[in-house]
C-alpha cells in the first residue's frame, strides 16, 4: 500500500491506497470528485485531464503515488464559489458542449492551453492543441469558439488589471 | 492493472539499487507508455521505480557544439527549449509533434528510446544524428542501440541517463501521423554534416528504425529535394497493417524524406 498525500483544489488530502491506484480513481473514488471523467482505457480521449503542478496531464495515465506531494487541480477547483471560471463561462455562452462528458477534460485542457499562449490563440493552434481531447458530440466547432473567446476575454482582463 | 509496488528514487544509484533488489521491476519515467501497457495487463512489473524526481536526469544543455538532453527531459521541455531551438530546431519540432500536449507534459526522451516503439519519433532523430546514449553503465552509439522491434541494447538494470549529439549543419524531420494515434505511419529525419548525410526512417520498418543508404548517397552529392526525384525504397521489410500497406508506407517514406530535406533547407 502507498501513503499518498497531495493538495487537491487547495485542500491537503492524504490516504493509504493500493500502489496501482490511478490518480483518476483516487480523485473520483477516494476524494469523491467525480467531475473528472474516464472516457477510454487507452490514454487517448482526454476526459480525465487535470492539472498536476500546473500542467495538464491525463489522470488515467498516472498513479496516485506518482502524484504524491503534488498540487492537483480538477474541474471542481476552477470556479470561484458560484462565479464560473472564464473558460467555463465561455463554454456555457458559446454552447461548447452537448452531452458534457468530454467537457471537464476540454476545459482543463483549455485553461492549460490559454496559460501556455499568453500572446493569444488562433483557430489552427486551438485545433492542434486539442489533439488529446476527443468529443463525440459537438464536432468541435463551438469548443474552439469558446476557447478563442475565453482566451481573448482573459487577455483583456489581464490588460485591464495591468 | 495487476498489483505492483511503487518506489520513488532520488538518485541514479538509488534507482538502479531498488531495481536490482526487485523481483521483476521496471523503471517508470513519464509513464505514457508503461502505464497504458499495465492497464491493458500487457505488462505486470512487480515493482515500479519512479525516475521523475532524480535531478541528474533533467535538463538540456548546449556546450562546445554538443547538445546533451537528460533522459528525464519531457517532450514539452525539449520542444520549448529556446537554446536547442536555435541550434537544432528539428529536434524541437519533432518533440512538439509527439502525441498531444498532455502526453508531452509527462513523456520523456529516455522512456521513448528505451521503449523503441517502431512508430516512435525520437529513434529516427537519434539514429540520423549519430547520437550517443549515455547509461548508468556505458556509452552506446545510436547505431548499436536500436536492436529491433521494442528491443534495445539496454540490459535489464541499465538506466539511460542522457543522450548527446554534435550540432548538425542542417537537420529536418517530417512525419505522416496516423490520424488516430499520432504515432508515425512514416517519419523521416535527415541530417547534413560536412562528412555526409544520414537519413533515418521510423514508423515503417518491420524491425523498427532504419537508414536508407541510396537516399543518403544522393543527398550527400546534392542536398536538395531534386536529388530524391524518382528515389524509392522497396516495400520489402516494411510493415503492413490495418493502417497502411507496405507499398503505401514505401511511398510515404520517399515523400516524407523530401519534406524533411525541404524543412532542413528551409
Ligand atoms: C495518446 C498517446 C500518444 C502518443 N503519441 C506518440 C507519438 O506520436 N510519437 C511518439 O514517439 N510517442 C508517442 N507516445 C509515447 C510517448 O512519447 C511516451 O512518452 C514515450 O514513448 C515513453 O516515455 P515515458 O517517459 O512516458 O516512458 P515510460 O512509459 O515511463 O517508460 C517506457 C519504457 O521505458 C523504460 N524507461 C523509461 N525511462 C528509462 C530510462 N531513463 N532508462 C531506461 N529505461 C527507461 C521503462 O522501464 C519502460 O519500459 C504517445 C503516447 C500516448 C499515451
Ligand atoms: S480516460 Fe481517456 S485519456 Fe484518460
Ligand atoms: S459533448 Fe458529448 S462528448 Fe463532447
**Which pLDDT band holds residue B160 (cuts at 50, 70, 90)?**
very high
CA–CA gap between residue B34 and residue A62 (Å, rounded): 10
Q: Write down which residue in A77, A99, A116 finishes a domain.
A: A77
| Domain housing A141 | 86-156
In angstroms, what separates the C-alpha of A139 from chain B's closest C-alpha?
16
Residue A137 CA to ligand 3 centre (angstroms): 4
pLDDT tens profile B34-68:
999 999 999 999 999 999 999 999 999 999 999 99
8 Å CB contact of B4 and A58: no
Whether A32 and A58 share a structural domain? yes
Q: Write down which residue in A59, A77, A95 finishes a domain.
A: A77
What pLDDT is stored for residue A155 in this prediction?
87
Residue A160: pLDDT above 90? no
Whether A30 and A52 share a structural domain? yes
pLDDT tens profile B213-225:
999 999 999 999 9
Mutate to test the pocket of ligand 1, among B22, B79, B115 (most ligand atoms within 8 A of CB): B115
The whole-model pTM stands at 0.97
pLDDT tens profile A108-139:
999 999 999 999 999 999 999 999 999 999 99
Q: What is the overall mean pLDDT for chain B?
A: 97
What pLDDT is stored for residue B70 in this prediction?
98
A76 close to A9: Cβ distance less than 8 angstroms: yes
pLDDT tens profile B13-38:
999 999 999 999 999 999 999 999 99
A49 domain-assigned:
yes
**Which pLDDT band holds residue A159 (cuts at 50, 70, 90)?**
confident
A152 CB near ligand 2 (under 6 Å): no
CATH number at residue A48: 3.10.20.30
Residue B121 buriedness (CB in 10 A; 0-12 / 13-18 / 19+): buried
Q: What is the overall mean pLDDT for chain A?
A: 96
CA–CA gap between residue B39 and residue A89 (Å, rounded): 35
Q: What is the mean pLDDT of residues B66-87?
A: 98
Query: What domains can be seen in chain B, in order of their start residue?
Result: 5-50 (3.30.43.10), 57-166 (3.30.465.10), 170-265 (3.30.390.50)
Q: Write down which residue in A77, A104, A136 finishes a domain.
A: A77
In this structure, the dihedral spanned by the alpha carbons of residues B43, B46, B51 and B54, taken in order and rounded to 10 degrees, is -170
Which of chain B's residues have a Cβ under 8 Å away from the Cβ of A131?
A: 99-101, 182
Q: What are phi and psi of B116, to 5 degrees?
A: 45, 50
The number of folded domains in chain A is 2
Least confident of A64-68, B97-101, B182-186: B182-186
What pLDDT is stored for residue A28 in this prediction?
98
Ligand 1 neighbours (beta carbon < 6 A) = A 43-44; B 26-34, 36, 51, 71, 98-99, 103, 106-108, 110-112, 114-115, 117, 120-122, 159-160, 181-183
Contacts of A106 (CB under 8 A, 6+ apart): A46, A91, A96, A97, A130, A133, A135, A143
Amino acid at each position: 500500500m502507498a501513503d499518498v498525500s497531495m493538495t487537491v483544489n487547495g485542500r491537503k488530502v492524504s490516504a493509504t491506497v493500493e500502489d496501482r491506484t490511478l490518480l483518476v480513481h483516487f480523485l473520483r473514488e477516494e476524494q469523491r470528485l467525480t467531475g473528472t471523467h474516464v472516457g477510454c482505457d487507452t490514454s487517448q480521449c482526454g476526459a480525465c485531464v487535470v492539472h498536476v503542478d500546473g500542467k495538464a496531464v491525463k489522470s488515467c495515465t498516472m498513479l496516485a503515488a506518482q502524484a504524491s506531494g503534488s498540487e492537483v487541480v480538477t474541474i471542481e477547483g476552477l470556479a470561484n464559489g458560484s462565479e464560473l471560471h472564464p473558460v467555463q463561462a465561455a463554454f456555457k455562452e458559446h454552447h461548447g458542449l452537448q452531452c458534457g462528458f468530454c467537457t471537464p477534460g476540454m476545459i482543463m485542457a483549455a485553461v492549460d492551453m490559454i496559460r501556455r499562449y499568453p500572446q493569444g490563440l488562433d483557430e489552427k493552434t486551438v485545433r492542434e492543441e486539442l489533439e488529446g481531447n476527443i468529443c463525440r458530440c459537438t464536432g468541435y466547432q463551438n469548443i474552439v469558439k469558446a476557447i478563442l473567446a475565453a482566451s481573448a476575454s482573459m487577455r483583456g482582463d489581464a490588460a485591464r488589471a495591468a | 492493472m495487476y498489483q505492483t509496488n511503487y518506489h520513488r528514487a532520488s538518485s541514479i544509484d538509488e534507482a538502479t539499487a531498488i531495481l536490482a533488489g526487485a523481483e521483476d521491476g521496471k523503471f517508470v519515467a513519464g509513464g505514457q507508455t508503461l502505464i497504458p501497457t499495465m492497464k491493458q495487463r500487457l505488462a505486470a512489473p512487480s515493482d515500479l521505480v519512479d525516475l521523475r524526481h532524480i535531478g541528474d536526469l533533467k535538463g538540456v544543455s548546449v556546450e562546445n557544439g554538443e547538445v546533451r538532453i537528460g533522459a528525464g527531459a519531457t517532450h514539452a521541455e525539449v520542444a520549448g527549449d529556446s537554446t536547442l531551438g536555435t541550434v537544432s530546431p528539428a529536434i524541437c519540432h519533432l518533440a512538439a509533434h509527439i502525441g498531444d500536449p498532455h502526453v508531452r507534459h509527462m513523456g520523456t526522451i529516455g522512456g521513448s528510446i528505451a521503449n523503441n516503439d517502431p512508430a516512435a519519433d525520437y529513434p529516427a532523430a537519434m539514429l540520423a544524428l549519430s547520437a550517443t546514449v549515455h547509461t548508468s553503465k556505458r556509452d552506446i552509439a545510436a547505431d548499436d542501440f536500436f536492436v529491433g522491434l521494442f528491443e534495445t541494447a539496454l540490459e535489464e538494470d541499465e538506466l539511460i541517463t542522457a543522450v548527446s549529439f554534435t550540432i548538425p549543419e542542417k537537420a529536418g524531420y517530417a512525419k505522416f501521423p496516423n490520424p488516430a494515434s499520432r504515432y508515425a505511419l512514416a517519419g523521416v529525419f535527415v541530417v547534413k554534416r560536412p562528412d555526409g548525410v544520414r537519413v533515418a526512417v521510423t514508423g515503417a520498418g518491420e524491425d523498427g528504425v532504419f537508414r536508407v543508404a541510396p537516399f543518403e548517397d544522393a543527398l550527400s552529392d546534392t542536398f536538395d529535394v531534386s536529388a530524391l526525384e524518382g528515389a524509392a525504397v522497396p516495400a520489402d521489410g516494411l510493415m503492413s497493417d490495418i493502417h497502411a500497406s507496405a507499398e503505401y508506407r514505401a511511398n510515404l517514406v520517399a515523400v516524407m524524406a523530401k519534406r524533411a530535406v525541404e524543412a532542413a533547407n528551409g
